[in-house]
Amino acid sequence: MIKLHCFGESGNAYKAALTLELAGAEWEPVFVDFFGGAARKPEFREFNVMAEAPVLVDGDFRLSQSGAIQQWVVDQTGKLGGLPDDKYEVLRWVLFDNHKMSSQAGVTRFLMNFLPADKRNPDVIAFMQGRLMAALTTLNTHLDGRDWLVGDGLTIADIANCAYLYYPEPFGFDRADWPHINAWLDRIAATPGWKHPYDLMPGNPSDRA
């Protein structure tokens, strides 16, 4: 059984978890108590030198970084990778997410919701929201006239880029402002097997309320 060390609040973990789920892999989540400091403990750093989630474990095989895990799932299952000629276009959009979408959305969401209120620097948040708006503009423009980011079906490119956009916590993204993204998120959520991150993985802000 594949194990994914993850937590529900993490969009990066959600990319890996949703890829496993929609590819039909047999897997189970292992909760990482990130907000309890689990990822900073020496034993976790020994487990993953990058000291972050997600981490996939399959027998003796261990892999971190969501994009790498997504590609591993494609290679293992033959699903969600698109056509053979799509390989590098899918990779291009996964890398776009990792460098542009998630790096802005994830940090902004963390700054606005998970830091103590007195540490939420409004200038930093405004700067990050500006970068996020640029990434969202790129995504929304590309989706004009398209159902999916690459090719004619759902791929890990879609799963990577959508991950943070389903979270309810405010971070400057309103679906109504981005009609092509909004329709695309509805299409992804209509995929059989789709689950919201808080339903797919353990860990929810309400647990710490």
Tell whether 99 and 138 lie within a shared domain.
yes
Domain harbouring 129, CATH code: 1.20.1050.10
Q: How far apart are CA 42 and CA 102, in angstroms?
A: 27
Average pLDDT, the chain: 95
Tell whether 61 and 152 lie within a shared domain.
no
Domain that holds residue 44: 2-79+195-208
Tell whether 62 and 140 lie within a shared domain.
no
Count up the domains in the chain and report the number: 2
Is residue 30 within a helix (H) or strand (E), and if so which, with residue range? strand 27-31
Identify the weakest region by mean pLDDT among 39-48, 127-136, 145-154, 185-194: 39-48
- Closest to 6 measured CA to CA, from 48, 46, 42: 48
Tell whether 91 and 145 lie within a shared domain.
yes
Token pair 């971070």 is at which residue?
171
Query: Residue 105: is its pLDDT beyond 90?
Result: yes
Residue 24, amino acid: G
Tell whether 104 and 119 lie within a shared domain.
yes
Specify the pTM: 0.95
